[in-house]
Amino acid sequence: MSDINIVLIGFMGVGKSTVSEYLGKRYSMKTVEMDQIIEEREKMSIPDIFKTYGEEYFRDLETELLKELQSERNVVISCGGGTALRECNVAEMKKNGRVVLLTASPKLIYSRVKDIDDRPVLYGRKTVEGISELMEERREKYEAAADIVIQTDNKSVSTICEELMHSLTEMEE
Ligand code: S3P
């Protein structure tokens, strides 16, 4: 399985970065945090990128970065929560990767994001209902992109990663 990448997608606060870090350590894989690379390149936080240039500009940066990442192998790519919403991005993800959708309940997501203000998409909708609505809007696209879906509520990161690796191995057989 060492030539393929693991591409983690899913709603904000679902645990993509935590799972990515764990997989990286446990399976000695390089990890790529898309949001972080974009912020470093732009020398700006994501809220500032949205404010200064608008959401489309940010989305184009995501698409560009995903294309670049196709030269990588055996890496875990932790996407931003909106990356899988563009069809062309999903096509890039699938070139060398298996797409893993992490899901969690709106309540759990809310508890994780409620005190953090770095997600412009949640401005004005940071309630369980607001999150639930946006999640429903995105569900179809997330599910269409996914090769594997892992439900994460009430599971430890090690359990999530074991499940994920088990499903990936089954897929490759
Ligand atoms: C976004 C999710 C964020 C970040 C940006 C937009 C989204 O990433 O890319 O704020 O549209 O869902 P996380 O999922 O890592 O919070």
pLDDT tens digits along 26-44: 999 999 999 999 999 999 9
Q: Is the pTM of this model over 0.85?
A: yes
Handedness of CA 148, 151, 152, 156 (dihedral sign): negative
**Residue linked to tokens 């030539």:** 3
**Pocket lined around ligand 1, Cβ cut-off 6 Å:** 12, 16, 35, 46, 80-82, 119-121
Residue closest by Cα to atom 4 of ligand 1: 80
CA of 171 to the centre of ligand 1 (A): 28
pLDDT tens digits along 58-107: 999 999 999 999 999 999 999 999 999 999 999 999 999 999 999 999 99
- DSSP, res 28: T
pLDDT band at 3 (very low <50, low <70, confident <90, very high): confident
pLDDT at 149: 98
